Chains A and B, each alone.
Chain A
Amino acid sequence: MRDEAPCLTFTHHLTPPIAAGPYPLSFPVSEIPPISLPTASEEDLVRRLQARDESALTLFYDRYAPALFGVISRIVKADEVAEDVLQEALVKIWNSFPAYDPGKGRLFTWVLNISRNLAIDKIRSRQHRVGTRTQGLDDSLAAQRMPAPDSFRPEHIGLQEIVKTLVPEQRQIIDLLYFGGYTQSEVAEELKLPLGTVKTRARTAIKLLSKLIR
């Protein structure tokens, strides 16, 4: 009768519920924690991709997908299409990686070109079906005049800097060249400008951009 009630405290926390049943063969992608940029250096990433380390693709995604998706979606103008193109680009980057030579250029330039080219191919094939080429340019010029969509990072200084630095005529040419996939002569033709003017404006714009980096 003297026994006292044991002091019961529920301090034991069960670990989060664990799925019963057979364990998955590998982790679902969502279990791979996103890794912030500074943890994966470009050299490290290149080395791991060269070693055919598939987990490096996740690092690659976390590091480059926002920029690649930004460029691709700017070119194809629809997020669903951009997502497909980004996926294609990642597969292509993986498959072509043995051909990448770090001595000949930075990884970002290389993957940007692959992504841009796939995206431009996408709109080219679409325009081909539709028929006219001018359609695309008109779209592109219309997009040019539209304010940046909300999904563009408002805190992103880069875009604001560019808007501040380039005059609209310069930005229009750079956008047509970079997001429209046009040659300088095609731009000259479309904008009814002498080819020399287009070249000069493009060069000036690029010079201004490279000054922003320093």
Chain B
Amino acid sequence: MEDSQTYIESGILEQYALGLLAPNERAAVEAEAARQPAVAQELASIQLAFEYYADAHARELPTGMRDRVLSKVLAQVALPTPVAAAPVASAGLRADVDALARPQPAPGEAVVRPLAAAPAPAGRSRMALAASVALLLSLAGNGVLYSRWQNADHELVAMQGNQNRLAANTMVVEKKLGEIRQQNEVLRDAEFRFVALAGTPDAPADKARVLFNAKTRRVYVDVQHLPAPPAGRQYQLWALNNGKPVDAGVLTADAAAGERLERMKDIASAQAFAVTLEPVGGSASPTMPIQAMGTI
């Protein structure tokens, strides 16, 4: 106990912990620590104190440093280990600097300082290991990127489908809007005269309107109610001018169903309008009884 206390008080353990001893002195300290638990305990306590001291000086690292340092280190590490540089020929004081990085000799053992850091095969297998690690990382990375790309692709297809539907829809709406705007113009135009066509006694419920602009000769038909035409038949509009029927065109199914105002053939002059059910395509002159009629 006396013995170990004197040894501890000598300050050599601090020198050891600070890396200030020559290799033979280091070996002696390690031998002493192996022999006397009190010395080993004291040494561990000193080392822990310095760890604490170092840790207390820990700093926030400058930004970007992590990437810079790690990429350089990983690049250097991937290269085969260079033959260890000969230790700087400094005076005995720092001669053990490199010794720290080497195996600490067990007590009693001769201090052997290898001159080369690693034999060539180790370097090669290190390369192989580095290459394997890089390959695995790359494979994993490719897998991740591939699945991300697949997801993105699916989502892109879905988005494009949506966009197409939206565009088609917009076209439909625009067409409809155009029609409605046109109809609105017609309806608001003071030049148009409204001619109500009333059902004949044969078809009293039938009702339609003709809008006629004598200046522009434009004719529109606006069906309120006409029964659906039987197969092979189509409604046809006639303008009666001086008692003579003039073809004003056939009504499309939409127009006959009252879905929209339909523009008919231009008519120069008329006193009345009438609707008949003609064979599909219409006739040159009415062949069937009048379904509805109205005078201007």
A interface residue numbers (CB < 8 A to B): 1, 3, 5-6, 8, 12-15, 18, 23-30, 32, 34, 52-55, 57-58, 61-62, 65-71, 73-74, 79, 83, 86-87, 90-92, 94-96, 98-99, 101, 104-106, 108-110, 112-114, 116-118, 120-121, 124-125, 151-153, 156, 158-159, 161-162, 174, 177-178, 181, 183-184, 199, 202-203, 206-207, 209-210, 212-213
Contacts and interface: CB of A to CB of B under 8 A. Distances in A.
A117 to B, nearest CB: 4
20 contacts: A1-B176, A6-B169, A14-B152, A30-B67, A54-B77, A55-B133, A57-B77, A65-B69, A69-B58, A79-B62, A90-B69, A106-B51, A112-B54, A114-B100, A120-B97, A177-B14, A178-B54, A199-B9, A210-B49, A213-B52
Contact of A177 (B18, B69, B130, B142): B18
A153 B60 CA distance: 7
Contacts of B165: 6, 8
Interface in B105-163: 117-118, 126, 129-130, 133-134, 137-138, 141-142, 145, 148-149, 151-152, 155-156, 158-159, 162
B118 to A, nearest CB: 8
B65 interface: yes
Contacts of A79: 62
Contact of B50 (A12, A61, A65, A178): A178
Contacts, number: 224
B19 interface: yes
A29 B50 contact: no
Contacts of A15: 148, 151-152, 155
A174 B57 CA distance: 13
A65 B59 CA distance: 9
Interface string B91-113: 00110011011111000000000
Contact of B59 (A1, A73, A110): A73
B19 A116 contact: yes
A202 to B, nearest CB: 6
Contacts of A213: 48-49, 52
Given A153-B60, A162-B56, A184 B15 contact: yes
Contacts of B51: 106, 108-109, 112
Contact of B117 (A18, A95, A124, A161): A95
A28 B10 CA distance: 51
A190 to B, nearest CB: 14
A69 B59 CA distance: 7
Interface of B: 9-11, 14-15, 17-20, 30, 45-62, 65-74, 76-78, 81, 84, 88, 90, 93-94, 97-98, 100-104, 117-118, 126, 129-130, 133-134, 137-138, 141-142, 145, 148-149, 151-152, 155-156, 158-159, 162, 165-166, 169, 172-173, 176, 259
B156 A91 contact: no
A28 B138 CA distance: 11
A24 B139 CA distance: 10
A117 B148 contact: no
Contacts of B162: 6, 8
Contacts of B49: 206-207, 209-210, 213
Given A8-B166, A12-B155, 16 more contacts: A5-B169, A6-B166, A12-B158, A13-B155, A29-B71, A66-B59, A86-B69, A90-B73, A98-B118, A99-B103, A121-B97, A152-B59, A158-B56, A203-B9, A203-B14, A210-B48
Nearest to B259: A1
A139 B17 CA distance: 24
B104 A104 contact: yes
B130 A96 contact: no
